[in-house]
A and B are shown apart, each in its own frame.
Chain A
Amino acid sequence: MRSSRIIGSAMLALVVFQACEKNEAPVAVPTLTEKTVSGIPADTIVGLVNGQPVGAGKFSFFSFETNAVVPSTDSNSVKWDVAVRGTTIITNGGNSGPGVGGAFVYVGTFDDLKAVPKDSVFRQDNVPTSYAVPNASNKGWYVYSPVSMLITPIPGRVLVFKTAKGKYAKVEILNYYKGGVTPSATATDAEKLKNQRYYTFRFAYQADGTMNFK
């Protein structure tokens, strides 16, 4: 249901976009999109290998421009900006994709970040040595508790992206579990594993190529 909603909104965005082209009055069109996206699966658990839970090993690709999931057949294109697999986030740039994408982690609230600071350095993926968005507990966007075995996004971390086509977006990851609800610490392991790897995030995308999020 969630994915159909996403596809639905993606189609809507497409319609709007086409409409814009027709009336050719870009000045009047707001170029900043702000959306909350829920239920993006990120290589959900399919089974156990040597006692360790594993997914199918596939990334989910997402485009800020279209606010939609991009099929993995387009992974070697600039149609996607960011992809997720478990807690790993890659950008369409560096050695992850053909785009010019990159990212860095901004410390502050989503609303604090009114524009990308001029002196920002966008990191690029150099997988598997390093990621634009550091992929470790308490180093990038999330913290993992070995006690509750839950993943929680760190509050006050905004991921600032340069998209595949060189535009800018900011993202606040809100939750890592199905339905945007983290299971209770006392939930069974099975429940924690079954429901994990579903991203809920909000983002702002600036289509005009500037660094402003206003």
Chain B
Amino acid sequence: MTSTVVSAQRGNDSSLKNLDQVVTHMNLDEVVVTATRTPRSMGNVAIPVTVISSKTLYQSGSLRLNDILAEQTGIQVIDNFGKGLQMQGLSSEYTLILIDGEPLIGRTAGVLDLSKITVKNIRKIEIVKGPSSSLYGSEAMGGVINIITDRAGQNKTDLGLRYGRFNTVDGNLNFSRRFNKTDIAASLNYNQSKGYSLKPNAVQKTVEPFRRSTQSLGIHQQLDAHWKAGASFRANASHIDNTIFVQNLGTTIASKGFEKNEEFNFTPYLQFKQEQKIQSTLRGYLTGFNAVQELAVKNATGGYDDRFKQRFARVENQTDWQMTANAAFTAGAGVVRETVRSNRYDSASTLRSNTIAYFFTQHEQKFSPQLTMIGGLRFDANQAYASVWSPKIALQYKAAEKLKLNISYGRGFKAPDFRQLYLNFTNLAAGAYSVFGSEVAVSEIKRLSAAQLLDQTTALVGSLSALKPEVSGGLNAGLVYTLNPSSQFTANLFRNDLKNMIVTDVIAFKKNGGQIYSYFNLKRALTQGIELGAQQKIGQRIQLNAGYQFLYTADKEVLQSIKKGEVFQRSLSNGQAFRMSISDYGGLPNRSRHTANLKFNAENAKGYFSTIRLIYRSRWGTSDLDGNGLINRSDEYAKGYVQVNASMGFPVHTHWKCMAGVDNLFNYKDIQFLPGNPGRTAYIDIQFIF
């Protein structure tokens, strides 16, 4: 009975028996679970899905999730409040990251830091592009990344140790064993670095020394022929030193402190399964994120103390019913309660909460051997903001044996976060400005007015109201062409139309000149482009992969204003203003129009391997310099670049593997716009498997 294999994942998993074989190379027969929340072979899913195998993870020398995602077509890792994900041109806050199907929390300014996730215990990563809110709810606008850690049933223990530049140490232990009807899997990871300075002689490091640890444990028990139960637990912690020097008119103020993030996830479940007909899973999920930052000013009083405590609890049932050979139905419902305590909102003792109740359904119908349709719908009823419907429809047409055509349209949404609802922040250092969440803005304005601190309010005060979720409509249309088992070509056109995007705007001015901001559903934007991929096997030993994405993004209001002739820019040569044209507009910041990668992989039967990976990113807009708030002038872009990573390895002995690699071989650096890129880093890695 192999059905215990992916217990942490939803659904039927009998097709995973040849686990190692499946994950060895990209394969349309590979079973994926993220796109439909049911196991389907990749070639039968009408939605763009890619899979990264544990072998690719190992051979690429990846340590953290950002390392491997940065090498994927159509994905950018953006350094801002940690390593954030950008997919189909949508930023981190609009992409959902799951671990074994459950969402990770703990975002800072919308960014989920990918570097807090080790890839050393990952079995595979599934990437679904385009809106998937019809299944997963909030945040699944640009796509979903599902990290599948479960290794239960592999009967394998491996111990890995890595040493690299900047005193980077990564130690890892994975254990999985099957005892009769019980599966146990556990893993430990420790990761540290002493950090680095990009600027010579800098008093403050670009990246401060940090240490992180992750532990996980999963137990899965087959109770009888139909029932199975289990639970998994994961804990994650990081500690970052903080030494900050602020120069103020020649006076240097030194602050010392630390930043500490802790996270845990607990997932118990009970599953019923009757042959291939019905499967029903009741799952609980409890996750927490605690962040503390403390800074003390040297030789003076005062400092900075930031506390953020988030809890997310969920109970959910999902039932899959294989009605006939050609029809499958899925339904699910659940309740979420989310709470936050933080001194960013009033005080660390005030509890902010939201309760969400939701249901979702999905129907898959095979009309003919060629044509399959999937329709899905989800409804989220929220306590703290407006409710939202998320439909999705996907079609697959197998036009010929070698050619598959896919088209899908879905709506995605992102709920207003606690920051947008409850933030109560006043920056005394920079212009004494304040930012108030939409739920507290009116009372704060009244309080300031009563205290005679308010100068005047803007017209926007009148439109302060409950925030609505940000929504998007996403269209994906693509093809997979398999010329022969050695060559495959994929193409996918995408377009995402976002509206109700939440932006900050000024609602009032204080008497001391400071501005008061709050949040509004004002912005509309679009991202569109094409993603191309090609795989070619040369002989038995060499594999070539190429990927390219063309991306166009724009703020729709800006496009409109440009068309009306209301947008201006300032010339670099004479400093004078002139009218901006559509072609001058660089779209949303941090987006590269062209991104590409080219990967060579050679491997022989004895297990000797080498990889060379070229990652290209064209220029991207950084910040406005000419006062129009837009990306338009050549000096507002960071330079495009190519990064080359290489690795090689071989088995030393039956139980020993060793590998070494160099990331950023040609030492590309951009101190200002790529602070997270330390330049060339070499490493060596050994693994003991038994």
On whether the two chains bind one another, the answer is yes
Given A155-B577, A180-B575, the answer on whether A189 and B249 have CB atoms closer than 8 Å is yes
Contact of A202 among B433, B509, B576 (CB under 8 A): B576
Query: Which residues of chain A come closer than 8 Å to B625, judged between CB atoms?
Result: 152, 182, 185
The CA of A138 and the CA of B570, in the complex, are separated in Å by 16
The CA of A57 and the CA of B569, in the complex, are separated in Å by 32
Q: Mark B610-629, 1 if CB is under 8 A from A, else 0.
A: 00000000000001111111
Q: Is the interface of B mostly helix, strand, loop or mixed?
A: loop
Chain B, 655-672, CB within 8 A of any chain A CB: 672
Report which A residues bind B (CB closer than 8 A).
Answer: 45, 47-48, 51, 53, 107-110, 136-138, 142-149, 152-157, 172, 174-175, 180, 182, 185-186, 188-190, 193-194, 200, 202
Least CB distance, A70 to chain B, in whole angstroms: 25
Closest-by-CB residue of A relative to B570 is: A155
Contact of A189 among B247, B506, B579 (CB under 8 A): B247
The CA of A149 and the CA of B627, in the complex, are separated in Å by 13
B539 adjacent to chain A (CB < 8 Å): no
What are some 5 contacts across the A-B interface (CB < 8 A)?
A143-B629, A155-B628, A156-B566, A156-B567, A156-B628
Instruction: Check if A155 sits within 8 Å of B627, measured CB to CB.
Output: yes
Closest-by-CB residue of A relative to B629 is: A143
| Nearest 9 pairs of A and B residues by beta carbon | A156-B568, A155-B577, A152-B627, A155-B568, A174-B575, A155-B570, A154-B627, A146-B430, A156-B577
Instruction: Check if B576 sits within 8 Å of A174, measured CB to CB.
Output: yes
Given A155-B568, A155-B626, the answer on whether A175 and B575 have CB atoms closer than 8 Å is yes
Closest-by-CB residue of B relative to A188 is: B247
Query: Which residues of chain A come closer than 8 Å to B623, judged between CB atoms?
Result: 145, 147-148, 185
B578 adjacent to chain A (CB < 8 Å): yes
Additional A-B contact list (20), CB under 8 Å, known A110-B576, A138-B629: A47-B249, A48-B249, A109-B577, A136-B506, A136-B509, A137-B515, A143-B627, A144-B431, A145-B623, A152-B624, A153-B570, A155-B578, A155-B628, A156-B568, A156-B577, A157-B577, A174-B575, A188-B247, A190-B247, A190-B248
Given A107-B566, A109-B568, the answer on whether A152 and B431 have CB atoms closer than 8 Å is no
Instruction: Check if A190 sits within 8 Å of B249, measured CB to CB.
Output: yes
Query: Which residues of chain B come closer than 8 Å to A186, judged between CB atoms?
Result: 672
Query: Which residues of chain B come closer than 8 Å to A146, judged between CB atoms?
Result: 427, 430-431, 433
Instruction: Check if B578 sits within 8 Å of A109, measured CB to CB.
Output: yes
Place the interface of chain B in its size category. 20 to 34
Least CB distance, A12 to chain B, in whole angstroms: 23
Least CB distance, A116 to chain B, in whole angstroms: 18
B250 adjacent to chain A (CB < 8 Å): yes
Instruction: Check if A190 sits within 8 Å of B250, measured CB to CB.
Output: yes
Instruction: Check if A51 sits within 8 Å of B515, measured CB to CB.
Output: no
The CA of A136 and the CA of B569, in the complex, are separated in Å by 20
The CA of A137 and the CA of B510, in the complex, are separated in Å by 13
Least CB distance, A161 to chain B, in whole angstroms: 18
Query: Which residues of chain B come closer than 8 Å to A152, judged between CB atoms?
Result: 624-627
Query: Which residues of chain B come closer than 8 Å to A143, judged between CB atoms?
Result: 627, 629
Query: Which residues of chain B come closer than 8 Å to A145, judged between CB atoms?
Result: 623-624
Q: Which of B246, B570, B575, B623 has the most CB of A within 10 A?
A: B575
Q: Which of A146, A153, A156, A202 has the most CB of B within 10 A?
A: A156
Q: Which of B248, B430, B506 has the most CB of A within 10 A?
A: B248
The CA of A156 and the CA of B430, in the complex, are separated in Å by 27
Contact of B248 among A51, A107, A109, A157 (CB under 8 A): A51
Contact of A200 among B506, B575, B628 (CB under 8 A): B575
Instruction: Check if B576 sits within 8 Å of A149, measured CB to CB.
Output: no
Query: Which residues of chain A come closer than 8 Å to B506, judged between CB atoms?
Result: 136, 138
